[in-house]
Every structure is written in structure tokens, then in C-alpha cells.
Amino acid sequence: MQLEQQLRDRLEKKDILLMTHIVLGYPSFDTNREVIRQMVANGVDCIEMQIPFSEPMADGPVIVRANQEAIKNGTRVADCLAFAAEMTASHDIPFLFMTYYNIIFKYGEKPFFEKAKACGIKGFIVPDLPPEEGESFLRLAAEYEIAPILIFAPTSTDERMRVLASHGQGFIYCVARRGVTGVKSVIGAEVVEYLGRCRQATSLPLAVGFGIQDRDDVHALIGKADMAVIGSQTIRLVDEKGAGAVGAFIAGLR
């Protein structure tokens, strides 16, 4: 898959990669555009763009509110697709879609893959679609060369990790702790042991998210994972200080 190779090429020059998360249409596409510009200019390696959904079950209060506000503001899937095409044409890093399966199901799996491919999207993160229920999704992912990103959790058994890894491409998203996004994680002995299990279960790069908020968190993952994921923290920053504060924050994470 193209995504995995793109990330491995970047890992040749960096100790750890950075992936960021934005909710499309929140607070506006103009703000999204400026935030992404600053993220890329300050060294972000991959961006997951969330297509807003009414019931984002894996997300904490910051991202839930952003989803709700984006929908309230009239954000539609077609708007997200058009924006994605603009971003992939403007910036030379991989972009992913993160959303929930109902969005894809309602749009139609095949048409959604066709549009995402045309938009230059490199991967999908769909937290509520286990591989056992995603046979056609995984087949289309292979056909359109869009990486299906599978998720490990601290509660995943070694056997379950191997099953998930056998269906994943691009990288594995490792949830740092139980619960939802937005609460700070502590990268202590328990997380290190868990990431060791993750590493044994797959040869794909490991990305760690849920509660990664600052430079110390990112540096604690060096040598244990390949990519740190920053999500709720940048949304909080934009809410409190505006899009102009994003560049310095991203630059300070390394």
C-alpha cells in the first residue's frame, strides 16, 4: 500500500512521526484550511480528517462537540470530499478519512471509495467497523488501494491483535488507554508493555493516539512507536487561541 511506504520513507529522517486530527467543517472549512497549512509547514507527517457524524462513539467531549457543531453548521459529506481533494492537491503528505461506518454505508461503499480515491485519500479509519463485518469494505480497500487502518486497544488479546493486523494496511492505530479521546495518557510501564505486545503482533508501523497532548508525550513514544497522534489538543487550541496558534504548538512537539 502507498500509505505504509510513504510513512516508512519519512521515518528514515525522523525519530517519530506526527499525525494530527481535524474535524471537517469545524469551526469552518476556512479555519480547517489554515490549520492544515500551519500543520504541514511545521512538520506534520499525516493528517486524519474526520467526516462529522452525529454519534462519534470513540471520541471524547471535545471532538464530540466539534462533530455536532460541524453538522449544525451544515457540513455535508460532499463538502468534505471536495475539501479533501483541495488539500491533497495542495500538500505533499498523506491524508486519511476518519469517520463512522453509517456515513459510508449511507453514501454507498463503492461510490465512497471511488470518490475518496479520486480525492487522493490514502487511508480510512472507521472505529465501529470490525473486520468480521467489513468483508466488502476490505475488498474495496484493496481494489482502490486505500489503506484500512485497524485499531489495537489495551484490552485486545495477542490473538485479537494478530487477527486485526492480518486485515490492516498502512499502519496500526494503537489506542493508548481505555476510554475515549481527549483525556491525557500517561506513557508509563503499562503502556510500554502494551506497545511491546502491539509490536510483536504486526510488522506495520504503530501510531499511538488518545491523550497524546504535548512534547513530553511525543518524546516518551520514541523507540516504542512510529507515529504520535495529536487530536483533541489542537481543537482546544483553536477554540481558545485561534488557528494562528497551531504552528508554534506543532513545532514545539519535537
Helices (H), the chain: 2-11, 29-41, 61-72, 77-90, 101-107, 109-119, 135-144, 158-167, 189-201, 215-220, 232-241, 246-251
**What mean pLDDT is predicted for residues 198-208?**
98
**What mean pLDDT is predicted for residues 163-180?**
86
Q: Which residues are catalytic?
A: 48, 59
Range of the domain at 129: 2-251
Contact yes or no for 228/221 (Cβ under 8 A) = yes
**What mean pLDDT is predicted for residues 37-52?**
98
Using a cut of 0.75, tell me whether the model's pTM lies above it: yes
The reported pLDDT for the residue numbered 1 is 57
Give the chain's mean pLDDT.
Answer: 93
**What mean pLDDT is predicted for residues 199-205?**
98
Confidence band, pLDDT 50/70/90 cuts, at residue 111: very high
Count the Cβ atoms, other than its own, within 10 Å of residue 61: 12
Indicate which CATH number applies to the domain containing 98: 3.20.20.70
Q: Provide the domain count of the chain.
A: 1
Confidence band, pLDDT 50/70/90 cuts, at residue 177: low
